[in-house]
Amino acid sequence: MKTSFTGYYGFNNYGDDLFASVCSLGAQRYWPNIDTSTIVPYDSYTGAVNAEIPRLLSKSYYNRADLLGSALRLIFMTKAIISNDMIILGGGSVLSSSAHTNIRIIQEIATKLRLIRFSAIGVSYGPFVSINDEKRCQEFLRRFEYISVRDQSSYEALNSLNLPSKLVLARDLAGVMPTLLKKQATINTNHKVLGVAPCNIAGNNIWQQEVLFEAIVDFAKKTGVTVRNFILNGHPFFGDESLVLDLTKRLEECNIPTEIIRLDSGAQDVWGRIAECNMVVSVRLHGAISSYLCNIPFALAEYHEKCTEFVKDIGQHEQLRLLYGNSTYQETLNALDCLYKDSSSRWSIPPERYAEEALLNFTAAPWLV
């Protein structure tokens, strides 16, 4: 069988680049008899192998937001549909209203005409802005062969539909990363490091700048930690750089040691830089998931359903749950203090168990039987 993974790969977003890397490397390890590729630009820093898109085409063209970028993505999706037996949606919120793009229309047409088989691994279901969007997604899913989801709510919603495909409750695809890494990073023991990963939420960054950032600055003053700021989305317009530069400036004005980590060296390297931190506060979901899987105490600002589902699923301590836009300065500072103390009871589901269950994305696939 010849198959290709697709997702929001090659757009300078850490979480999606992790998915591309895990899909590519995980398939090589757990599906050795399956011929797999990934629809991703050759020169993207995902760590993916067997990229469908040749090295002659720079990702700066592929991920453009204009007509050229859209046309290129449609061309390579059409090529993958023609040249493969199966397309696999690999990771993330690819079953939602925001995922209904021109590429999704091509995918829907291909399944209706039975031109190719479809599956999905490590995905979540929803949210949808309309009933019509949800019904359209459900019709699409009824022609799938295999679906593994990353959270309990998605599993319950899809299970109630009685889909003909095999449905499995697994975990986020990032959970497979620890088993794929050749070398594990070690936590900094010489000087405590606080990792921070903001998230550019269009037109709604006031809470981060007025509450989260103020708490981080005051916490760093009090404890003397180094603050490592992560730009986990490097998109020039929708990315996190402006927020990170804002926080960095505030820290430097107070003579607090700080550094900036970008995606330039690749998703796997960023994973290692997160793993070196002693504690992490993140607004980006995969900043938190990476910390958890590296057994690092973290606080996640829950700005989206996917964030809430993750912390609920692992049993995050209530004191470490930050409600985006609602948690006060004092509650945020208390959460940082709790991270610094690192109380022994962190989560009801240990990272090792989560990582083991994440392997189901690959090992439960029906074509292995």
**CATH number for position 41:** 3.40.50.2000
Residues 100 and 203 in one domain: no
Would you state the structure tokens that stand for residue 260, as one six-digit string? 């900036």
pTM (whole model) above 0.85: yes
Strand pairing of 51-53 and 86-95?
Answer: unpaired
Secondary structure class of 142 (helix, strand, coil): coil
Task: State whether 211 and 316 are in the same domain.
Answer: yes
Token pair of 305, please?
């359903």
Please give the average pLDDT of every successive group of 10 residues along the chain, which has 369 residues. Answer: 93 92 94 93 67 68 80 90 96 90 92 95 95 96 97 96 97 95 68 96 92 98 97 90 98 98 90 96 98 96 94 93 96 96 79 97 95
Instruction: Say if residue 343 is in the same domain as residue 359.
Output: no
Residue 56's pLDDT is 61
State which residues form the domain around 119.
Answer: 2-181+355-368
- What pLDDT does residue 369 have? 77
Give pLDDT, residue 345: 60
Residues 218, 322 within the same domain: yes
Q: At what angle do helices 213-223 and 241-253 cross, to 10 degrees?
A: 40
Q: Does residue 187 lie within any of the structural domains?
A: no
pLDDT of amino acid 99: 85
User: Are 177 and 262 found together in one domain?
Assistant: no
Q: Is residue 186 part of a domain?
A: no
Instruction: Tell me: do 138 and 223 sit in the same domain.
Output: no
Torsion angle defined by CA atoms of residues 99, 102, 104 and 108, in that order, rounded to the nearest 10 degrees: 150
Phi–psi pair at 271, nearest 5 degrees: -55, -45
